[in-house]
Structure 1
C-alpha cells in the first residue's frame, strides 16, 4: 500500500529545497555587472539620479552597476527593453512618472507598466519649474500669460517628449491660464535645455535638475515651480498657485524597477541597499545640489504610487485629449 505521508513530505521537501535555492541565489547575487537602463538621453534628471546612486551601489553590491541610456518614444523604448529582459536582477530600469502617463497616452504599448515590472524603490522626487530664457521679456507668470494671449499659438514650450509629464503640465497650464501654446517635443532634457538656452524654444516645464545651474548662472529665469510648495533649492521662486495659476501640484518622481518575475529575495536585497544609500548624508547632500528630494520607500509603497498616478494621469490625459498611435 502507498504511504499517504510520502507525497506531502515530498512536496514539503521540494518547497524547502526551492526556498533554500532562492535564498542562496539572493545571497550570491550579484556575481556579475548590473545594468541600469535610463530611458532618456544623458544630461537629464533620470541620468543624474542614476549616476548618483550607481556609484555607491556598485561598492555595496561588490559588482559594477553600469548606466546605459536607451531613449525614445517618451521613455517607452527603454522600458520595453527592460520589460523583456531576463528577470534575474541584472537589468533594471530607472523609471519615472512618465511611464504612468504613457499607459494612457499610447494606444498600444508592448508592455503593461503595472504588470511587467517589480518596483524596487523611489529614488527621488524632483520639482518641475517653469523657465524662460533670461532674455525673455517675461519676468513673471503674469507677464508670460500676457505675452501668450497677445500672440496665440506663437509662444512655444519644450518637453521631454509626447506624453511626458512636462507635456501634460504644459496642456494643464494652457487650460487654466486660458492661453494657446505651441508644444515642441524633444527626446530628453539635454537637447531641450540646449534649445532653451539658444532661444529656439520659449519656455519649458522641465524638472529642476538639468536647469538649476543655468538658473543660478543667470542664463535662464525661473518663473514658478509646479509643486504645491516651494523648492528648498530655489526658495525665492513662487509656486504656480502663488503666481495665480490655481489647482497645480505636479512633480516628477524617479524610481528603480526590475522585470516582473525577478526573485523577491533579490528585489528585497536591492531595496535594502538602495534605501540605505538614499538615506545617507552623502546622497542627501548630492540631491540638494541638483534640486531633488530623496525618497527611499518600500517596494509596496512604490507600487501604490504607480497605481495612483496611473489612475490620476488617465483622467488628465483624457481631459487634455492627448493620444499617440
Structure 2
C-alpha cells in the first residue's frame, strides 16, 4: 500500500472520529451524568455538590447524580474520573486536597494538572479551628498552653493524610511550637462525630460540616485559618490575628472533567454552572453553610491549580509529609 493511500486512510479515520465526537457533543447530554465526590457524604464537598446538581439537573434536562467514592485523601475518586471516558458523563468534584496529593503521594496513578479539564471553581470555604465545648480553651493562646503542658496528648482530626486539614495542623504545630497527635479520617462526617463525642480534641475542618454544631453550642470556634475573617463567623478571629504570622489557608471546591472531554461540553458546563453559582438562591445557600461562591473560567481554575500545586509542594516538603 502506498504512503499516500495510508495517509489518506488515516485522514479519513481521524475525520470520522472527530465527526463522531462532535456529534456526540452536540447531542449531549442524552442520559444521566455522574458527579463523583471523593469524600463520604456529609462534608463540604458533598453539600456543595448537591446544592449545584439540584439546579444543574434542571438546566441540562438530565439527572446529575452525586456519587461518593472516598478514600486515600480524595485520590480514589479522582483516579476513577481520570480513567473515565471523556464524554461529559463523568465529572469530578475536585478540591484543594488534590493539589496537595500531587506532592504527598509518591505514586499517584494520574496527574492532576494533566489528567483533567477544569470546568469551574464552585466556592471557597474557610477552615476553622474548633474544639469540643467541654474543652476549657477559649482562644488560641489557651489551647497552645494546653498543648505545651502535655506534648503529644492533644489530637486533631483531618479528612485524611495529605489533605489541607492535615497540613494546616502541621503548620499550626510548627508555628506555635507544640506537638499534636494527627488522627486521619475518611471525611468530615466521621471526623465531626468523633469531635462531638470527644474522641479527638480539635479539628481544622471547613466551616460547612461544623457550623450547625457551633450554632448549637456543641463546638467552640477559636480561629479561622484564612487571612480574612469569615462573614459566617464574623466574631471569630483569624489565626494571624491570634499570633500566627501570615497564616492563610482555606479550601476550594470545583468541577473537573476527564482530559479530552470535548471543548463545547466543557464550555456549556461552565456556562450553566456559573449561571447557577451567581444566582441569588445559590448565594443564599452558600451563606448558610459558610462558603463563598466563585464561578470562574476553566482557564482561571487551571491557573489556580498550578499555583496551589507549587504552593503546597513547599509546605509538604517543610512538613516532611509523605504517603506511600
- TM-score, normalised with respect to structure 1: 0.94
- Mapped contact 2:22–2:262 kept (Cα < 8 A): no
Shift of 1:118: 0.5
Structure 1 distance, partners of 2:83, 2:12, is 32
Unaligned stretches of 5+ residues in structure 1 = 1-9
Structure 1 distance, partners of 2:34, 2:164, is 25
Matches of residues 178-257 of structure 1 in structure 2 within 5 Å? 178-257=177-256
Structure 2 distance, partners of 1:172, 1:37, is 30
The answer to whether structure 1 residue 146 and structure 2 residue 121 are counterparts is no
- Mapped contact 1:230–1:237 kept (Cα < 8 A): yes
Shift of 1:28: 1.6
Count of aligned positions: 318
Structure 2 distance, partners of 1:14, 1:194, is 56
Structure 1 distance, partners of 2:122, 2:229, is 20
1:11-51 Cα distance to aligned partner (Å, 9 max, x none): 99999987766554333210000000000000000000000
Give secondary structure in 1 for the equivalent of 2:205: coil
Quote the residue 2:284 is aligned against.
285
- Mapped contact 1:128–1:226 kept (Cα < 8 A): yes
Structure 2 distance, partners of 1:55, 1:182, is 39
Structure 2 distance, partners of 1:143, 1:250, is 22
1:226-249 Cα distance to aligned partner (Å, 9 max, x none): 000000001000000111111200
1:268-290 Cα distance to aligned partner (Å, 9 max, x none): 11001000000000100000000
Unaligned stretches of 5+ residues in structure 2 = 1-8
The answer to whether structure 1 residue 72 and structure 2 residue 88 are counterparts is no
- Mapped contact 1:22–1:265 kept (Cα < 8 A): no
Quote the residue 1:158 is aligned against.
157
Structure 1 distance, partners of 2:201, 2:114, is 38
Matches of residues 91-106 of structure 1 in structure 2 within 5 Å? 91-106=90-105
- Mapped contact 1:156–1:203 kept (Cα < 8 A): yes
Give secondary structure in 2 for the equivalent of 1:93: strand
- Mapped contact 1:26–1:269 kept (Cα < 8 A): no
Quote the residue 1:319 is aligned against.
318
Give secondary structure in 2 for the equivalent of 1:172: helix
Structure 1 distance, partners of 2:18, 2:83, is 25
Quote the residue 2:42 is aligned against.
43
Give secondary structure in 1 for the equivalent of 2:47: helix
Structure 1 distance, partners of 2:35, 2:27, is 19
Structure 1 distance, partners of 2:15, 2:319, is 53
Structure 1: 4+ residue segments shifted above 6 A:
10-20
Quote the residue 2:275 is aligned against.
276
